[in-house]
Amino acid sequence: MMPQDFLSIVKRRYGDGGYAGDEHGGAAGSDGTGLPTGSPSNFMFATGIECSNPTIDNGRTRRDQLEECGHYARWRDDLRLTRELGLKVLRYGLPIHRIHLGPGKYDWEFADRVMAELRRLELTPILDLLHFGVPDWLGNFQNPELPVHFAEYCGAVAERYPWVRYYTPVNEIFVSARMSAKDGLWNEQLKNDRAFVTALKHLVAASILGTQMIAKHRPDCIIVQSESAEYLHEARAVPSTAVKLINMQRFISLDLLYAKPFDADVAYWLQDNGLTREEYDWFMAGEPPGYQIMGNDYYGRNERILLPDGSMSPAQDVLGWYQITHEYYRRYQKPVMHTETNVFEAGDAPSWLWKQWMNVLRMRRDGVPVLGFTWYSLIDQIDWDVALAVKNGTVNSCGLYDLDRRPRPVAAAYRQLLEEFGQITVVPHGELFVVGDQPAKLMIEV
């Protein structure tokens, strides 16, 4: 008698499909569709509450976006909207200027209420601890005592909220220093290279010491460093050394943070403007603790073109988030998160959202570990068209919701994106499987 083929034997024993145990994996796999579940294996889709708080008018006016955009009065609504949209992750900035009242002195009343509600709603906060401004008693970024006082604050936050794992100690270090000490718009409002370098080294040192204090209480902390992805194009036949230097200076904050030796031109410039050899050696001693994620913020206005007549033109998407961030990734080899994006025109926002998401997918398909994406912010902002430099009260319609908490078109677009991609894995190389305590689950490429 001729032997039967193996498949006939398999089918006779087990049937035509749905074999025992196959529900834990199998040929069909999962494509990652469905709203985020909150699983640590999910890609981190997020929004943020705009929380910038620099001073202007030589310190006389505080631009507190939490106040100007109504969050102090409507914080419960804002957290509810985040949850209802289907998001599980929120970049949230505690108002340091209201909490840290002096060395060892804190007012936790507002923070305690918000943090308790975040936990009740099972939202994962990425706590943003310094977002462009410091308490009045600390002055500004020229204060050499800033790093030690900020470290104390970070330790106090981590001790008070031990369940929090994700932090952005200092938001956009490069932008904070440039706007305050080079462009003269915020805080110290200076316009010289020495002040710029001073602000940079104080802010990076604050981030490093703050991370150390966080890690003291939460050794498994995850640090999402949000930094602006920038580039200046030059429309001149002969490129200038000045623009070449500017495009190298954009790496200084992350070079200091991640202990990456400088390019020679930058090293000379830093030395000429106050970075000592002892300080350099301190920064180069090693990276701060925690799992480090390099967040890159990208707005079309991050790219500019210097025209032959010396004027500036916007350069939206000449390179785009993909190409600029890829350059940062090659330099630092860190997992990446798209930590901020928006446009000021509400009608253009849905297409901008999808364009940024295509950048993220392309980056993941090229093997770069992009772990998360953020539309910033949940609600509209005030006066960012003038970088907060003048208190005009102009509403920038860049939020998922307007200031009355009504959804803008981009909210529906984001919901659609979440329904389609909400359960893709956090690491692109992990599309094959998820490491965790749940039953094995085969994933297919997305």
Instruction: Tell me the pLDDT tens digit for each residue of 322-357.
Output: 999 999 999 999 999 999 999 999 999 999 999 999
Residue 28 has pLDDT above 70, yes or no: no
For every residue of 189-208, DSSP letters joined together read ---SHHHHHHHHHHHHHHHH
Q: Residue 125, SS3? A: strand
**Which pLDDT belongs to residue 444?**
58
**pLDDT mean over 246-271:** 97
Residue 141 has pLDDT above 90, yes or no: yes
Q: Residue 219, SS3? A: coil
Residue 10 has a CB neighbour count (10 Å cut-off) of 12
Which residue type sits at 27?
A
Q: Kindly report the average pLDDT of the chain as a whole number.
A: 93
Report how far residue 444's alpha carbon sits from residue 428's, in angstroms, rounded to the nearest whole number: 11
In this structure, are residues 431 and 424 in contact, taking their beta carbons and an 8 Å threshold?
A: yes
What confidence tier does 12 reach under pLDDT thresholds 50, 70, 90? confident
**Which pLDDT belongs to residue 5?**
87
Residue 32 has pLDDT above 90, yes or no: no
What confidence tier does 182 reach under pLDDT thresholds 50, 70, 90? very high
Residue 18 has pLDDT above 90, yes or no: no
| Percent of the chain whose pLDDT exceeds 70 | 92
Report how far residue 99's alpha carbon sits from residue 101's, in angstroms, rounded to the nearest whole number: 6
Report how far residue 181's alpha carbon sits from residue 197's, in angstroms, rounded to the nearest whole number: 8
**Which pLDDT belongs to residue 272?**
98
In this structure, are residues 191 and 135 in contact, taking their beta carbons and an 8 Å threshold?
A: no
As a residue count, the chain comes to 446
Q: Give Rg (Cα) of the chain.
A: 24
Rounded to the nearest 5 degrees, what angle is found at the Cα of 9, between the Cα atoms of 8 and 15?
A: 80
In this structure, are residues 97 and 133 in contact, taking their beta carbons and an 8 Å threshold?
A: yes
- Maximum Cα interatomic distance, the chain, rounded to a whole number of Å: 98
**Which pLDDT belongs to residue 435?**
55
**Which pLDDT belongs to residue 7?**
81
Q: Residue 110, SS3? A: helix
Q: Alpha helix locations (H) across 121-230? A: 146-160, 173-181, 193-217
Q: Alpha helix locations (H) across 261-408? A: 264-272, 277-283, 320-332, 349-365
**Residue 132 CB-density burial (10 A; 0-12 exposed, 13-18 middle, 19+ buried):** buried
In this structure, are residues 336 and 330 in contact, taking their beta carbons and an 8 Å threshold?
A: no
Residue 11 has pLDDT above 90, yes or no: no
**Which pLDDT belongs to residue 275?**
98
Q: Tokens 């992009």 map to which residue?
A: 370
Report how far residue 339's alpha carbon sits from residue 327's, in angstroms, rounded to the nearest whole number: 16
Residue 21 has pLDDT above 70, yes or no: no
What would the two tokens of residue 344 be? 């000021």
Lowest mean pLDDT among 18-27, 192-201, 348-357, 399-408: 18-27
Residue 136 has a CB neighbour count (10 Å cut-off) of 12
**Which pLDDT belongs to residue 25?**
53
The per-residue pLDDT for range 295-331, each reduced to its tens digit, is 999 998 889 999 999 999 988 889 999 999 999 999 9
Classify strands 100-102 and 105-106 as parallel, antiparallel or unpaired. Answer: antiparallel
Residue 13 has pLDDT above 90, yes or no: no
**pLDDT mean over 369-374:** 96
Report how far residue 253's alpha carbon sits from residue 200's, in angstroms, rounded to the nearest whole number: 7
**Which pLDDT belongs to residue 337?**
97
What confidence tier does 441 reach under pLDDT thresholds 50, 70, 90? low
**Which among 92, 84, 87, 83 is positioned nearest to 44, based on CA atoms?**
87
Report how far residue 220's alpha carbon sits from residue 202's, in angstroms, rounded to the nearest whole number: 25
**pLDDT mean over 178-200:** 98
The DSSP code for 4 is P
**Which pLDDT belongs to residue 343?**
96
Which residue type sits at 406?
R
Rounded to 5 degrees, φ, ψ at 89 are -125, 135
The per-residue pLDDT for range 200-241, each reduced to its tens digit, is 999 999 999 999 999 999 999 999 999 999 999 999 999 999
**Residue 60 CB-density burial (10 A; 0-12 exposed, 13-18 middle, 19+ buried):** exposed
**pLDDT mean over 161-190:** 98
Residue 17 has pLDDT above 80, yes or no: no
> What is the pTM for the complete model shown?
0.92
**Which pLDDT belongs to residue 16?**
78
What confidence tier does 1 reach under pLDDT thresholds 50, 70, 90? low
The per-residue pLDDT for range 47-103, each reduced to its tens digit, is 999 999 999 999 999 999 999 999 999 999 999 999 999 999 999 999 999 999 999
Angle, to 10 degrees, between the axis of helix 349-365 and the axis of helix 409-421?
30
**Which pLDDT belongs to residue 74?**
98
Report how far residue 417's alpha carbon sits from residue 401's, in angstroms, rounded to the nearest whole number: 16
Residue 432 has pLDDT above 60, yes or no: no
Residue 395 has pLDDT above 80, yes or no: yes
Lowest mean pLDDT among 40-44, 266-270, 415-419: 40-44
**Which among 443, 374, 435, 418 is positioned nearest to 35, based on CA atoms?**
418
Rounded to the nearest 5 degrees, what angle is found at the Cα of 43, between the Cα atoms of 25 and 368?
A: 100
In this structure, are residues 426 and 42 in contact, taking their beta carbons and an 8 Å threshold?
A: yes
